[in-house]
Amino acid sequence: MFGSMKSGANAYAKIDIETGVLAASPHKLIVMLFDGALTSVRMAQQHMKQGNIEDKGRAISKAISIIDDGLRASLNVDAGGDLALSLDSLYEYMCNRLLQANLKNQPDMLEEVHVLLQDLKDAWDVIEPGAAAQVKQIQQINAQQIPKVASYGDLGLRSSTFASA
């Protein structure tokens, strides 16, 4: 009886997550990936502490999948340049640390990855969605409103005026 209620609750939770993903902006999707990876690492820490090897492995695998197939796969190296390359290397490092943590049963490695993920998520949280578009719009408005000055002569000044100042 309780098993069917639990599976029903899981089905509703899955639908809620899927609905959230479909309605989310690209920025929100990245936040959701960070949240999922952080939750999986915390679950792995709990399972490691309890000696639950199977669930620890499952949680670590999920974290690796989110980092590699989600965060890392979403990088655009052409547009992101050096920053995207650095993040790619960092995500690869995190996946390797998670593998080592699983093999060696090292909680400190899990904590290291959790701290790295949390730092990245905190930075991502302060990024205003659409901030780049707003900056570009302001630059376009400024370019239209501020007249271009070709030379000192256009201002009615002689270049020698500045030399004597």
| pLDDT (tens digit per residue) in 122-150 | 998 888 666 656 655 655 665 566 554 44
Is the pLDDT at 18 greater than 60, yes or no?
A: no
Question: Is the Cβ–Cβ distance between 34 and 71 less than 8 Å?
Answer: yes
Q: 0.75 cut: is pTM over it?
A: no
- What is d(CA 102, CA 87) in angstroms, rounded to the nearest whole number? 22
Domain 2-130 in CATH 3.30.1330.20: no
44: nearest Cα among 58, 34, 31: 58
The pLDDT of residue 23 is 56
